[in-house]
Structure 1
Amino acid sequence: MTPWFSATAILPELSARWQMDEVTASWMTIAVQLGFVTGALGLTVTGLADRLPMRQLIGWSACAAGLCNLALLAAPGPGSATLLRFLTGMALAGVYPPAMKLVTTWFIGGRGLALGMVTGALTFGSAFPHLVRAASAGLDWRVVVVITSAAALTSALMVALIVREGPHGYVPAAFSLSELKNIVLNKPLMLANTGYFGHMWELYAMWGWFLAFASGALAQAGLGGALASWLTFWVIAAGAVGCVAGGCLADRIGRTATTAIMLILSGGCAALIGFAFTGPGWLLVLLALVWGFTIVADSAQFSTMVTELSERRLVGTALAFQMGVGFGLTVITLRLMPAFAQWIGGWQWAFLLLVPGPVIGASAMIWLRRLPEAARINGGRR
């Protein structure tokens, strides 16, 4: 997943190279989301997520993502670069949802932790370009593109040589569009999806624009350079630990309880972090790390609930549907954030826009917890 934020990590350099304003530059990130949505919904309407061998789908998709990312080096301008970002996101749709499904073939018990590890890997992969940019401060921006592309291509090779499906496999399913009604009319499943949609309203807008927020906050303190990139890396990377912790907690106390708690905590951080914009620095770092930890700690549990609440033959399609719609929402918040920041007078209070997402998501989790069908979640530990 390292190509996801590769352009975001070098956005200042690309903006200067192509003389892009903030709104135009935002499409470097938004295009990836749009590509992912297109790819995920494509998997949904074709049923390919339940028809193709998962190893082949993941491996070839990771290879395509790495090559599209590498092609940024030859992009002559922002138009072609945006198209390449779109294709990168489209390819990554063939990596993440099928990977979640593949891991479930190895686990019945402990599935929450197992999928938490997958989402933790996604989180670290998403943070990795910021680490490369911070560690290579002063070097050419192309270093970030080359290293993140190489990581994706290496992962494709690893899938081909090492990864295998587990003993709890799925029978390839025939699919028609009429099957979608079995997803959208499944009330418990759609409540789990609503929790995920609220979570996604917040997640990628925070990940995508935290560097801008941190740069503004550190500039207030007379700090700059690579410090904002370092802070952004650690904030996003904290979520990798959060995903594992969230998986452990969900397997112990239940998925609806864990997701509701994390949504409330992350929404609280979104509401409060503006107070730390002008200092003290330790408060900004503390709130940011807590937010980075909690904002994605629940993510895998929504997907895990989908594998437990949907019909087994439609697990891949249900996951692709959940992620396709969820990532569609991220396009809205990623596009709104810079406009909202400009309207509100700067980045200090811009993250207030994200608060409604976790509020709606937590409400959906509390509602789902009360339904009798929730007994199917986590062996009854709802």
Structure 2
Amino acid sequence: MKPKFYILPVIIISQFFCTSLWFAGNAVIDDLVRHFDTDFNILGYLLSFVQFGFIIGTLTFALLTLADRFSPSRIFMICAFLGALCNLSLLIPNITIFNLLTARFGTGFFLAGIYPVGMKIASDYYKDGLGKALGFLVGALVLGTAFPHFINQFYQNQDFKAVIIATSILALVGGISIQVFVPDGPYRKAVPKLQLGVITQLFDILSFRKASFGYFGHMWELYTFWMFIPIMLKTYNSIHHVKIPISLWSFIIIGTGAISCIFGGLISLKIGSKKVAYQSLLISGIFCLASPFLFFLSKDIFLGALCIWAMFVISDSPQFSTMVAVAAPPELRGTGLTITNCIGFAITIASIQLLSFLADHTDNSIWLYPILGLGPAFGLYALRK
């Protein structure tokens, strides 16, 4: 049964709209924390609390097998609404650090009902060519992640509230669109009741375990790289006494990953998801090791190199998700995608906090980024076993 022509575009656009919540707080971090006097790196905590909320959310969804027991389209809509409300709570007058971190935690929690559930919805419609469909979908995630930086570029020195309001409205529109235009897919197999122990059952499957471990290595690098892009640009500005627009180039660099996700999905139709994931992980790992030397390049080559790195750091993500979805039994596909997301994002917290700690205790941050190469090395080993 061929899905209606508009199904995938609606899923893609809704995913893009809703995942714009992810970095909304980070894009306006300077405005949010200007009146806070802290002796720790609040940027690292701000992103980590989103990740922590996402981890608790995905763990809850996985343990309760929510995406496999109930309508994923309805779950997507409800979480989009609640995530938007958490995002809007950043506009509370005289917000405290506790309120700030709690709001970001709540946003992350409800993103657990958006990102993996969006992939589950796509897998219920596209039995063949899933790598291509998820390539478009993760591309939407990339653009959604980068979009707050794009908005902020046009509102710098004006009202940061525009970023928060705009991303919240987009999330509401995305949630409604899924509910109205994308009913449950023809390949969905619902689990009739709560099933405990499904997580260990999934990891007993060798192909599921290998795909998951590869994904975990990829996640060690991905979000830490994204978070540190503005810091890399500021460092380069400081070293060379130039003025690269931070928000604009953060959007461009992160956003280029959407292109590679789409092309990777198309290429996977010919060579398979595993080869695309392996080559992407290998190249991004090489960039990790070579990263200190990028800061000594000319401005144009430096920016170009970051764009290429950003393309390969994400192009393996939809292919790992495809491998996970294919390896999981159809009735547990949503839970399989959700638990791998849960563990993967738990790993991002360790990576983010490690680099944030080291950045606070070193005078030259350009030598920190090779640590990100530990993730690709582990992922490549897992795929080769």
TM-score tier, shorter chain, comes to: over 0.9
Counterpart Cα distance in 2 of 1:364 and 1:314? 23
Which of 365, 368, 377 is the equivalent residue of 1:347?
365
Which of 303, 324, 335 is the equivalent residue of 2:321?
303
Name the structure 2 match of 1:323. Answer: 341
Name the structure 1 match of 2:167. Answer: 148
Deviation sequence 1:76-120 (CA, Å, 0-9, x none): 111111001000000000011111011112212211010111111
Deviation sequence 1:109-154 (CA, Å, 0-9, x none): 2110101111111110000011111122221211111111111111
Runs of 4+ in 1 over 6 A off after TM superposition: none
Name the structure 1 match of 2:235. Answer: 216
Counterpart Cα distance in 2 of 1:212 and 1:146? 25
Name the structure 2 match of 1:46. Answer: 64
Deviation sequence 1:249-276 (CA, Å, 0-9, x none): 1221111111110001111112212212
Name the structure 1 match of 2:99. Answer: 80
Q: Is contact 1:65-1:88 (8 Å) kept?
A: yes
Is 1:363 the counterpart of 2:381? The answer is yes
Report deviation, 1:312: 1.5
Counterpart Cα distance in 1 of 2:31 and 2:238? 18
- What's the TM-score, normalizing by structure 2? 0.92
Q: Is contact 1:259-1:362 (8 Å) kept?
A: no
Report deviation, 1:22: 4.9
Deviation sequence 1:35-54 (CA, Å, 0-9, x none): 00000000111111211101
Report deviation, 1:340: 1.7
Letter of the aligned partner of 2:152 in structure 1? R
Report deviation, 1:232: 0.9
Q: Secondary structure at the match of 1:16?
A: coil
Which of 112, 115, 135 is the equivalent residue of 1:96?
115
Report deviation, 1:358: 0.6
Counterpart Cα distance in 1 of 2:127 and 2:86? 36
Deviation sequence 1:329-354 (CA, Å, 0-9, x none): 01111111121223343321221111
Which of 252, 258, 281 is the equivalent residue of 1:234?
252
Counterpart Cα distance in 1 of 2:184 and 2:367? 46
Which of 66, 76, 97 is the equivalent residue of 1:58?
76
Report deviation, 1:319: 0.8
Counterpart Cα distance in 1 of 2:173 and 2:258? 20
**Bigger CA drift: 261-270 or 160-169?**
160-169
Is 1:168 the counterpart of 2:178? The answer is no
Report deviation, 1:21: 4.5
Letter of the aligned partner of 1:322 in structure 2? T
Report deviation, 1:164: 2.3
Is 1:107 the counterpart of 2:119? The answer is no
Q: Is contact 1:344-1:350 (8 Å) kept?
A: no
Gaps of 5+ in 1: 368-382
Q: Is contact 1:105-1:167 (8 Å) kept?
A: yes
Report deviation, 1:278: 3.7
Gaps of 5+ in 2: 1-18
Counterpart Cα distance in 1 of 2:361 and 2:40? 14
Counterpart Cα distance in 2 of 1:263 and 1:94? 27
Counterpart Cα distance in 2 of 1:262 and 1:113? 16
Counterpart Cα distance in 1 of 2:362 and 2:20? 32
Deviation sequence 1:280-305 (CA, Å, 0-9, x none): 11221111000111111010111111
Q: Is contact 1:212-1:347 (8 Å) kept?
A: no
Name the structure 1 match of 2:304. Answer: 286
Report deviation, 1:198: 0.2
Report deviation, 1:184: 1.9
Name the structure 2 match of 1:273. Answer: 291
RMSD across aligned positions (CA): 1.5
Report deviation, 1:279: 3.3
Note closer, same or farther for the CA distance 1:35–1:294 as it changes in structure 2 (3 Å cut).
Answer: same
Q: Is contact 1:273-1:287 (8 Å) kept?
A: no
Is 1:28 the counterpart of 2:46? The answer is yes
Q: How many residues align?
A: 366
- What's the TM-score, normalizing by structure 1? 0.92
Which of 197, 220, 223 is the equivalent residue of 1:201?
220
Report deviation, 1:165: 2.7
Report deviation, 1:366: 2.5
Is 1:263 the counterpart of 2:281? The answer is yes
Letter of the aligned partner of 1:266 in structure 2? S
Note closer, same or farther for the CA distance 1:250–1:173 as it changes in structure 2 (3 Å cut).
Answer: farther
Name the structure 2 match of 1:15. Answer: 33
Counterpart Cα distance in 2 of 1:181 and 1:93? 20
Letter of the aligned partner of 1:336 in structure 2? L
